[in-house]
Amino acid sequence: MPNKILNAKLLWMQFEDVLAPRLGLTVWDRAVYSYLLRHSLVVGKLRLHFAVLSVARDLGLSNGPVRQAVRRLDEMGALRLLERSKTGHLVEMRLPEQIRALRPDKNGASQAAEGPPPSALEATDFLKTWALRKTIHDRERSACFYCLRRTPAHVQCLDHVVPRARFGRNSYRNLVSCCIECNTRKGDRAIPDFLRTLYRQGRLTPAELDGRLRALKDLAAGKLRPLLPAGRNHRTS
Ligand SMILES: [Zn+2]
C-alpha cells in the first residue's frame, strides 16, 4: 500500500493487540517487524532491501536472532521474503490487516482462532495460524523439546527438525517447540548431533539424552500428535 496514508493509531493498536499476541511473536520478532515496517510501509515503500547485520546493529541484537525473526515472520506471513543474497534480504512487508492468518473469514471468525478437522491432521500446515502453532507449544507442555528447560511464552519458538530450506514440512511431525537459545545454537546441525552436544555440555543427563532421541523418532513416526482446537469457532485467545 505505498500510496495509502497509514492510520498510525490503528496500526499501533493492531500491532500490539492483534498481531503480536495472535501470532505469538517473541520480543525479537516484534522488534524486527516494527523496525522493518518503519523503514518500508510507514515511509510509503512496499519492499525493503536490508542487511541482517545493519538491522542487528541498529536494534542492539546479534545477527542470529534477527535472521531467525525474519524467517519466522516470513513463515507467519507477516512479510514475504522475495530474495536472499550476499547483499542482503529483499522483503515485501505486510500490514497487520493484510496478514492472512489474522483476517476474518466469511463467518466473521478469525482464521487464527480456528483449527482444521482432525482428519486433516497429516496435511495441516502448523505454522498457518496462531492457534495451530499454540498446539505444538502445548504438546511440549512449555518445555524446550531439545534441552527440556521451561520455556515461558515470550522465549519459546517453533523449530523445523528438518530445516525448511531442505524441504522440511510445517507438519506436526517436523515442528517442535523450543527455547530461543536452542533455536539459535542448533544452526544447520542434524538434531541427534545437537542433542549429543547438549549432553556433552552437561545440559542433558544420559537418561534425558536417550529420552530425547526416542522422542525424535516418535515425532517422525507421527506418535506425538498435538491436540487440535475443537470446533470451527473455538477461540483460544
Ligand atoms: Zn532449549
- Give distance in angstroms: CA of 174 to centre of ligand 1: 16
Provide the residue-wise pLDDT of the chain in tens; the chain has 237 residues: 445 677 888 888 888 888 887 777 888 999 999 999 999 988 888 899 999 999 999 999 999 999 989 988 888 889 988 888 888 899 999 888 888 766 654 444 444 444 444 456 888 889 988 889 999 999 999 899 999 999 888 888 999 998 776 666 889 999 999 998 998 898 878 899 999 999 999 999 999 999 999 999 999 988 899 987 664 333 333
- Give distance in angstroms: CA of 75 to centre of ligand 1: 21
- Give distance in angstroms: CA of 193 to centre of ligand 1: 14
- Give distance in angstroms: CA of 180 to centre of ligand 1: 7
- Give distance in angstroms: CA of 1 to centre of ligand 1: 39
Instruction: Give tens-digit pLDDT for 106-151.
Output: 444 444 444 444 456 888 889 988 889 999 999 999 899 999 999 8
Look at residue 217 in the predicted model and tell me its pLDDT.
94
User: Does residue 174 contact residue 124 with C-beta atoms inside 8 Å?
Assistant: no
- Give distance in angstroms: CA of 122 to centre of ligand 1: 26
- Give distance in angstroms: CA of 127 to centre of ligand 1: 20
Look at residue 110 in the predicted model and tell me its pLDDT.
47
209 CB-contact burial (10 Å; exposed 0-12 / middle 13-18 / buried 19+): middle
- Give distance in angstroms: CA of 145 to centre of ligand 1: 7
Spell out the SS3 assignment of 165-229: HHCCCCCCCCEEEEEHHHHHHHCCCCHHHHHHHHHHCCCCCHHHHHHHHHHHHHHHCCCCCCCCC
Which residues surround the ion ligand 1 when the cut-off is CB under 5 Å?
Answer: 144, 146-147, 179, 182
CA angle, residues 189, 195, 197, in degrees to nearest 5: 80
Q: What is the pTM of this model?
A: 0.50
**Distance between first and last Cα of the chain:** 29
- Give distance in angstroms: CA of 184 to centre of ligand 1: 9
- Give distance in angstroms: CA of 144 to centre of ligand 1: 5
CA angle, residues 88, 89, 94, in degrees to nearest 5: 155
Nearest CA to 169 out of 219, 127, 133, 221 is that of 127
